[in-house]
Chains A and B, each alone.
Chain A
Amino acid sequence: MGDAVEDIEIALLLEAIYQRYHYDFRHYARASIKRRVLQARTQLGFASVSAMQDRLLHDPATLPRLLNYLTVQVSEMFRDPSYFRALREKVIPHLKTYPSLKVWVAGCSNGEELYSLSILFREEGLDQRTLFYATDINPQALKAAEAGVYPLSEIRKFTENHQKAGARTSLSDYYTADYGRAVFDKSLRSQVVFSDHSLVTDAVFAEMHLISCRNVLIYFDRPLQDRALGLFRGSLARKGFLGLGSKESLRFSVHADGFSDYVLEEKIYQRRDA
Chain B
Amino acid sequence: MRAAAIEAVVIGASAGAVQALLHILPGLPATMSVPILIVVHVPSDRSNALVTLYRDRCRLRVKEAEDKEVVADGTIYFAPSDYHLLVEAERSLALSSDEAVHHSRPAIDVLFETAADAYGPALAAIILTGANQDGADGLRAVAAAGGVAIVQDPATAQVPAMPAAALSACPTAHVMSIDDILSYLVGLAAR
- Residue ranges of A at the interface with B (Cβ–Cβ < 8 Å): 1-3, 7, 29-32, 34-36, 73-75, 80, 82, 215, 218-219, 222, 245-249, 252
User: Which of B89-97, B162-170, B179-187 participates in binding chain A?
Assistant: B89-97
**Across-interface contacts of A82 in B (CB, < 8 A):** 46
**Across-interface contacts of A249 in B (CB, < 8 A):** 67
**B129 within 8 Å of A (CB atoms):** no
**Across-interface contacts of B113 in A (CB, < 8 A):** 35
Contacts A/B (CB < 8 Å), 16 sampled: A1-B117, A1-B121, A1-B145, A2-B89, A2-B120, A2-B145, A29-B86, A34-B114, A34-B117, A35-B110, A35-B114, A73-B97, A74-B99, A82-B46, A215-B97, A247-B67
Q: Knowing that A35-B114, A218-B96, A245-B97 are A-B contacts, what are 13 other residue pairs whose CB atoms are under 8 Å apart, sorted by A's residue number?
A: A1-B120, A7-B89, A31-B89, A32-B96, A35-B86, A73-B97, A74-B98, A80-B46, A219-B96, A222-B68, A247-B80, A247-B83, A252-B68
**B118 within 8 Å of A (CB atoms):** yes
**Across-interface contacts of B54 in A (CB, < 8 A):** none
Residue A30 contacts which of B46, B83, B84, B88 (CB distance < 8 angstroms)? B88
- Residue ranges of B at the interface with A (Cβ–Cβ < 8 Å): 46, 66-68, 80, 83-84, 86-89, 94-100, 110, 113-114, 116-121, 145
**In the complex, A2 Cα to B116 Cα: how many Å?**
7
Residue A246 contacts which of B46, B89, B116, B145 (CB distance < 8 angstroms)? B46
**In the complex, A35 Cα to B115 Cα: how many Å?**
12
**Across-interface contacts of A36 in B (CB, < 8 A):** 98
A31 to B80, Cβ gap below 8 A? no
